[in-house]
Structure 1
Amino acid sequence: MNEAVRNLHGKAPPPSDAGDGQQARLRDAGVNLGAILEPSERDPREAADLPESLRLTPPAITSLRPLRHDFVPVPPPGDGLRVMPLAAFHWGGRERGIGALPQPRLRGDHVLLHLQEGVLQIDFPRQQSRHIGETLAFVPSGTAFSMRPDAQLRGQVLLIPHRLTAGMQMPLPQEFRSGIPQDADRQMLGPAFRALAGGTPKDKPARIAMLCQFELISFALGRLTRHLPGVADTVGSLIHSRPLTERFLTLAAQNLASGRTMSELAAMLGCSLATLDNACRQTRGRSALQLTYELRMERAVTALRATRTPITQIAQELGYTSVGHFMRAFADATGRTPEAFRAVSGTWREWI
C-alpha cells in the first residue's frame, strides 16, 4: 500500500541531514498524506516542497456558529408533575446483556404506580418486587430501581417532584411500599390522577388542592393490603383468614358507635381475639384494633369532605368518647384538625 501511495503522489525525495527530523520519519515510513499517524508540532503537509493542493488551510474562526445564550436545557427527571400511561414508563440504566433487564438507576422524584391489569416487575439493587393485578406501588425519591413494563399493561404513573411535597401535614412514605388499595381508596385514585394531570400548579389555591390530593394518596398508601415479613401466609391460612377479616370489618363498621371492645367483637364472630388479630395481620398487615382506627378515620374523612354534619355529631357517630378525643385522633392521623381538613376539602372541590 505504501508503494502505491508513492506512485500516486510521486516518489518522496530523500531526507536531508538539515531537514526536519519529524518530516523525515514520516517520509521514510511512507505515511500517506491523508492520515498523519505520528504526532507533530506542525503539520508536515504545510511543507514548502508539497503541492499547493495538498496544503492545509486552517478554518476561519468566524465560520463557527455563534453560541446561543437563550438555550434552555431539557429538564431532568423530577422537574415537573406528570401523569403518563404505565406501559410507557421505562426506567433504568444500561442492560446487563442481550435480552437482560436494565440495571437499577437512581431517580430524583417520587413515583406512584397504579397497576390495574397485567404483571409488573420492579427491580431494585438487591431484590425484585413482582405484582399481579390491581396494585398501588410507591417508590420514594432517591431510590435506585428499574422497570420495563409490557406494552399490554394497564395503569398509570404519577411522577411527583420532591420539592412539591413541602408543607404536607401527612408526608409520603420514605420507603418503598406496595399492595392492594382499599375499595374506597381505589375509587379516589382515578379522580386524583386526573386532577394532578394538569401539571405543576400556578397559584396558591391550586397548590393547596394539590397538597390535599397528595395527602389522600399518602393516606391510601398507609392502608394497603400487604404481607409482612415473618408472618405465615400460606395459601391454606389465607383462605381462612381473608373471610374472617372481611366479616370483622363489616361487623366493626356496624358497631362503631356501640363502644364494643375487640374481644366482644371477636366473640360475636365465634373466635378468640388472638385468632382475629392473626387473621387481620395476615390479610391486612395490621391488628383488629388498628383496622378499627383506620375505619373510623375513613368514615371521618368521608363525612368531612362530602357532608356538613357537625363535628360533634361525627365524633359521636364514630364512637369517640368526646369531641376532643376525636380531634386529637384525627390530627394525629392526618396532620390537620377536622375544621382545617374540611376547609381544604372545600377548596379542592372548587378547583378540581
Structure 2
Amino acid sequence: MTFIPDTPSQLRLTPISRLAAGGRWRVEAMRALREPVLLWFTQGQGRLTVAGSTRGYGPNHAIFIPPGVMHGFEFAPRVQGSVVFFGRDHGMDLPATPQYLRPRDPISQKELTATLENIQRELESGRAGSQMAAKHHLGLLGVWLDRQLDKERAHEPIFARPAAAQRLVARYSALLERDFRSNTSVSDYAAALGVTPTHLTRVCRATCGKGAHQLLEDRILFEARRLLAETRLPVKDVAQTLGYSSAGYFTRSFQKNAGMTPTAFRKRPAATVMPRL
C-alpha cells in the first residue's frame, strides 16, 4: 500500500472559512488528522461530530481534537473563526481526549484571541526566530487550555461519564480510522466490537445521525477526494490505496457518492486551487 502523507509537521493557523475553499467536503466529511487541532468559532453556528458524538457549536466555542480522532462539522458561509494545526512535533502535554469548551467570561475569550493573533503574526512575519516565537505562543495556548479545563471542572465538578452508546461509537470511530483502507466491512467492525451490525448502526444513528456504513463511506470518500485533489496518483493507484479490488469498482462507488467520476472530480478547478494547510 502506498503511504500518502496528509499532515505537514509544522505549526499552522488559518481561518476556518479557508478550510472549505476546495469544497465543503473538506470540513463536513468524517476524517482524522495525525496532529492535534483546535477549532475556535467566533461567528455562525451548526453541528459538529467528534468521535461519533454530535453537538451544536456557536460563537465562542473552542473544540480541541487529539490526533487520530474522526471529526467533521457543518459549514456555512457565515461561519467564522480560526483553526490551529499544532503539527506532529509540537512537544506539548495536551489532552488525550476531545474537549468541548465554551469560555464564558470575556477575559478568557480575549486571551485566546490574542494568543492566536500572536501566533499568526509570528508565522507571517518571516523574521529571524519567528518559528520559535510562534511555538512559545503555542505553549501559552496550551496553558490557556489547561486553565479553561480547570474552569469547566469547577462548573461541573464530576464530569458525566459518556453513555455506553457514545463509548461504543467512539471505539468504532477509532477502529474505522485505523482500518478504513483495508476493505473491512461494517460486519467485521461490529464483530471486533462484540456487537451486531444492526446494533452498531442503531447507536451510530442515535449519537451522530449517521449509520455505521455511512460513517465508513464518508471516511473512504474523504480520503479518495483528498488523494485526487492533492496528489497525482493514477486513479487505479488511488483505488488500490483505499482497498478497492479494481479501479472500475472504485469509479462506480465514487460516482455514486460524489456525483461524478474520479477523473471529472480531479479536473474541477476547486480540486486544484486548494492550498495545502
TM bracket, shorter-chain basis: 0.3 to 0.5
Report the TM-score when normalising by structure 1. Answer: 0.36
Higher-helix-fraction structure: 2
Higher relative CO (CA 8 A, sep ≥ 6), structure 1 or 2?
2
Which protein is bigger by CA-based radius of gyration? 1
Report the TM-score when normalising by structure 2. Answer: 0.44
